[in-house]
Structure 1
Amino acid sequence: MVTRIGGLASGMDIDTLVSDLMKAERIPLDKLTQKKQTLEWQRDDYRSMNTLLKELDDMLFLNKDSIGREATFLKKSVSSTDDSKVTAQAINAQANFSTQINVKRLATSESWKTTGNVVKDFNKVTSDLNLTFKVTEPGASTPRMITDPNNPTQKIEEVITISLKKDDTIDDVISKINSSSLGISAMKENVLVNNNGTPDDYSDDIYEETIVFTNRNTGAGSKIEMTNSATNDFMASLGFSSTPDGTEFVLSSENSGQDAIVEVNGFEMKKTSNSFTINGVEYTAKAVTTSAVTVSSTTDVDSILDTIVKFVDKYNEVIEKINGKLTEERYRDYQPLTEEQKKAMDEKTIELWEEKAKSGLLKNDSVLSSSLSKMRVDLYSPVTNSEIVNGFSMLSEIGITTTSYSERGKLTIDEDVLREKIQENPTAIYKLFNAGGGTDDSTEITGLAKRLRTTIDNTIESIEEKAGNTSQTNQQFVLGKNLISVDKQIDRFQDRLMQIEDRYWRQFTAMEKAIQQSNQQSMYLMQQFGMQ
């Protein structure tokens, strides 16, 4: 550590002198710090472009209503002549339809009920107990099956265990049954067993508290089996009855579930549920009909149009922002501000300065420029795939064209034409965007959306090679390696500055010591002359 003497002998402000000298010495360090900041801004700009491209890719294929999903173009508007009896929704119906439905019987659920005033008589569970059951679903011939945990290639009957604890109340028991996988809704209710009262006095009416189980699934044939006598005894203590079946006991039902009986276009069929799917259409029977209900569909033009418009809007946004970065003015006189420079400015001035300093960092970037060119070719070139011979081969055929040259490749939509083409052949529009490329995957026979996705993926990959992503370290991409190099230069220069500052202090300290020694000699001589 250099001993520092701060100008006591010379009367000079050594601290200020050294500080001013070091300002000049720090100029190269400031330039390195500015270079580092510029690289970080450039890295962030690249990554923001990748974020934009990823959002466009998601809109192509990953979002729920994207143009890369066939279901988007199969959407139907479904109507019923009597919504109170039958409703429907198109799930994946390929073509429009008109169906005549008669509902002859609704599906109902199996139910089980206790007898006697059970809830009143039941106190608490007297000891820990595991109840074990098997469940046969409506329409099934055997209990539910699960994979054998000891042999993954085998299936075994599922045994459902409900663990009761000593002192559990009836409410605890009902809660555990409801939260189990039995598939049963359990409740307790007051049942009128003797109507002795009068309209003015109900005090003589007699009610019993009863437990009712209702299968959450409708349909005939459901069954609950108790796998051992301990379970059967407990259920009997609640008031349920059962019939033995070998070593097991079948819970006796109060009301048997029944299947729905429906007539579809003259053909009668049974369904375990009141909601059933035929040819990609889900029908829901709500009430028995006295005459046929007509359920029909039309193409949901508005929904499909909205999806395509959103895609075009997002594409135009991406094109505009990337073009903005490519043509942004570069202000080389506006370098990133140092901390010292920021201290001398107000916040607004700093903001305006940095806005110019950040400008143009991706100007004329080759990766982005080539990507935009490729995206334009992807969308404007015809699709010559056999899948769409009878459909559309270019965007212009469905009312989507390019804008003026000044807008650099944006798309515009003639909604009247697009609406007409959607009504005419939505499947052909889907193929235009998503036709497969075959084994050679050549661009000419690949759908527009698939082409675009390939270009986006390649662009994102190229940008990540240059600017990385948030999960990568600096060693894994070009700008990161440049940042590492600049950091090393900064570290070395900071070490050098410390040496230079120490040197200045040694020089000024030596000067102070020399002046101090000279002053002491002068004082000594004056004292000697004064003595004579």
Structure 2
Amino acid sequence: MVMRVGGLASGINTDELIEKLMSAERLPLDRMQQSRTLLEWQRDGFREIYQKMYDMDTNMFLNMKMSSTYKPKFVSSSMENAVTATANSSASNGTYSIQVNKLATAAINSSESSIVKPGETFDPSKPLSEQKANLVNGDAFAPGDYEFYTWNEKGEKQTHKFSIAEGDSLNNVLKKISADGDVRALYDNTSGRIILESTKTGNNNTTTEFGGAEIGFDSTSNSFFTDVLGLKVDQEKGGEDAEFVYNGLTLTSKSNSYKLGEITFEFKNVTNGQNVNLTVSNDVDAAFDAIKNFVDKYNEIVEMINKTQTEERYRDYKPLTDLQKKGMEDREIQLWEEKAKSGILRGDSILSSGLFDMRQSWFSKIETGGEITSITQVGIKTSADYMNGGKLVIDEEKLKEALRNDPEGVYKLFSNNTEDKNDKSRGLINRLEDSIESTMKKIEERAGKTTSTLENYTLGKSIKDLNTRISDFEDRLLRIESRYWRQFSAMEQAIARLNNQSSQLLSQFGGGM
């Protein structure tokens, strides 16, 4: 390590002088660091565009390829508080008549009266064994294995088993009863009664077992239900099928939802003998909104790429070094870097060709086999303002008219899919997807992804090379600075010796007089 001696003998400000000398030596390092920062900005700019394209590729293309996007159905009801319906895109337009005579209900049972003795207290969170004396039939409580029964939609009997331990509370036991999800067991603190209800609607137990109850248990092997909880099978209510009349035909349903063909009906209330008319029609507004949303997202990508190709390049504004930033305010740094970043991707062939390919995707003629073969026929065209870079504008009335009169034609125009990418019948969305994925691949080769290492993309390799050169140059600067200090230290030591000799000579001459 070099011993650094300041200007004690010479009176020279050695620190300041060496700092100035090193500033000149650092100029190549500053240029390399600025070049690295510029490459990082370019990489980040590419990745921002890549992310926009990725979001569209993963979140929107699939939806825009589905026929339901262009042919959604809307079902209106003449009595929405009683019957509503949904229809998929292949449902036929028309009117359907429904009369609901009875709603499907879930079976429910409850204790005849409070399970707690009058005047006594009971805590459902504490062990049952400690509170037996407070229960009407607490003496009947005994830990052990128990079971009860339910029936599924196919009428098949299901056995549910659970065990009660010595320290279980009522809450614990009710959770065990509810564990399989076929029933809900609750305790009402106010009335002191147990509520046991099925989670399924409908009459599923069509046998005579347990008198047709949906939740079955007996007093012999399951005295916990009958004695401790005060439940009786014959007290169960509900568990009935829905009954409705469709165009004169009486039908039943286990639930209050019934799918008939491509339409699903939802029953909310009985209609008291009145017919509810449900009309299926094309939902033009929903289809328009889906297309408009997609076009808006596309326009965002166009705007982002177009900006990189049109913004001015300020070559006099280089990336700031750390030393330069020390003497600037935050706002000054922000304004400077805005200038320095402006136009750094201008003229890039990947972005300019990608933008051109995307524009071409929209205006190719599509052989749909119908009258609609181009996007202009459905009211979509390029903005008249050439500065917009090819953004799309929508004629709302014209697009809605096309969706109303020929939704199948619009669907084929946008999403007609073929394996051959050169097939002239390949839809606009598929062609645009090809273009965007091709551009994304090129961007990934140039700028990588956030998970990419520097060796895996072109800009990364350049950044890595600069990192190596910067590291080597920093080592060189340390050696140069050490050399300067050695030289100045030697000079200081020589001057000190000279001063010492001069002092001795003067002392001798003075002593002889």
For the aligned pair, the TM-score class normalised by the smaller chain equals 0.7 to 0.9
The amino acid across from 1:136 in the alignment is: W
The structure 1 residue matched to 2:316, chosen from 313, 333, 345, is: 333
Instruction: Tell me how far 1:337 sits from its aligned partner.
Output: 0.8
Alignment CA distance shift 1:287-1:381 (3 Å): same
Where do 1:260-339 residues align within 5 Å?
260-285=242-267, 286-339=269-322
Q: Take 2:188 and 2:485, find their aligned partners in 1: how far apart are those partners?
A: 94
> Could you report, residue by residue, the CA deviation over 1:193-218 in whole angstroms, capped at 9, with x for unpaired residues?
xxxxxxxxxxxxxxx85433221221
Contact 2:140 2:227 in 1 (8 A): no
| Structure 2 length-normalised TM | 0.87
Q: Take 1:164 and 1:225, find their aligned partners in 2: how far apart are those partners?
A: 19
Q: Take 1:493 and 1:473, find their aligned partners in 2: how far apart are those partners?
A: 23
Which residue pairs with 2:398 in the alignment? 417
Further displaced range: 253-262 or 467-476: 253-262
The amino acid across from 1:265 in the alignment is: N
Q: 5+ residue gaps in structure 2?
A: 118-135, 206-213
Which residue pairs with 1:511 in the alignment? 491
Which residue pairs with 1:27 in the alignment? 27
The structure 1 residue matched to 2:460, chosen from 477, 480, 483, is: 480
Contact 1:29 1:493 in 2 (8 A): yes
Instruction: Tell me how far 1:420 sits from its aligned partner.
Output: 0.8
Q: Take 1:97 and 1:37, find their aligned partners in 2: how far apart are those partners?
A: 64
Where do 1:412-491 residues align within 5 Å?
412-438=393-419, 440-491=420-471
Instruction: Tell me how far 1:372 sits from its aligned partner.
Output: 1.0
Instruction: Tell me how far 1:484 sits from its aligned partner.
Output: 1.3
- 1:26 aligned counterpart, secondary structure: helix
Alignment CA distance shift 1:373-1:134 (3 Å): farther
The structure 1 residue matched to 2:74, chosen from 73, 77, 95, is: 77
Q: Take 2:460 and 2:137, find their aligned partners in 1: how far apart are those partners?
A: 73
Instruction: Tell me how far 1:419 sits from its aligned partner.
Output: 1.1
Instruction: Tell me how far 1:228 sits from its aligned partner.
Output: 12
Taking only aligned residues, the RMSD between alpha carbons, in angstroms, comes to 2.7
The structure 2 residue matched to 1:236, chosen from 222, 226, 232, is: 226
Alignment CA distance shift 1:520-1:171 (3 Å): closer
The alignment-based identity, stated in percent, is 37
The amino acid across from 2:265 in the alignment is: Y
Contact 1:86 1:284 in 2 (8 A): yes
Q: 5+ residue gaps in structure 1?
A: 145-158, 192-207, 243-250
Instruction: Tell me how far 1:172 sits from its aligned partner.
Output: 4.3
Instruction: Tell me how far 1:489 sits from its aligned partner.
Output: 0.8
Which residue pairs with 1:141 in the alignment? 155
Further displaced range: 31-40 or 105-114: 105-114
Further displaced range: 451-460 or 49-58: 49-58
Contact 1:68 1:449 in 2 (8 A): yes
- 2:194 aligned counterpart, secondary structure: strand
The amino acid across from 2:166 in the alignment is: K
Which residue pairs with 1:108 in the alignment? 105
Q: Take 2:255 and 2:508, find their aligned partners in 1: how far apart are those partners?
A: 124
Find out whether 1:6 has 2:6 as its counterpart.
Answer: yes
Aligned residues: 484
Where do 1:21-420 residues align within 5 Å?
21-58=21-58, 60-61=60-61, 66-115=63-112, 117-120=114-117, 121-123=136-138, 128-137=143-152, 139-143=153-157, 160-178=160-178, 180-188=179-187, 210-222=193-205, 223-224=214-215, 232-238=222-228, 254-255=236-237, 257-285=239-267, 286-384=269-367, 388-390=368-370, 392-404=372-384, 405-420=386-401
Q: Take 1:132 and 1:268, find their aligned partners in 2: how far apart are those partners?
A: 38
Instruction: Tell me how far 1:493 sits from its aligned partner.
Output: 0.4
Contact 1:119 1:211 in 2 (8 A): no
- 1:492 aligned counterpart, secondary structure: helix
Q: Take 1:124 and 1:39, find their aligned partners in 2: how far apart are those partners?
A: 82
Contact 2:415 2:428 in 1 (8 A): yes
Q: Take 2:89 and 2:198, find their aligned partners in 1: how far apart are those partners?
A: 29
Which residue pairs with 2:18 in the alignment? 18
Find out whether 1:526 has 2:509 as its counterpart.
Answer: no
Q: Take 1:428 and 1:253, find their aligned partners in 2: how far apart are those partners?
A: 60
Q: Take 1:382 and 1:416, find their aligned partners in 2: how far apart are those partners?
A: 22
Answer 1 or 2: which has greater strand percent. Answer: 1
Instruction: Tell me how far 1:335 sits from its aligned partner.
Output: 0.5
Q: Take 2:31 and 2:137, find their aligned partners in 1: how far apart are those partners?
A: 86
Instruction: Tell me how far 1:391 sits from its aligned partner.
Output: 5.2
Alignment CA distance shift 1:354-1:236 (3 Å): same
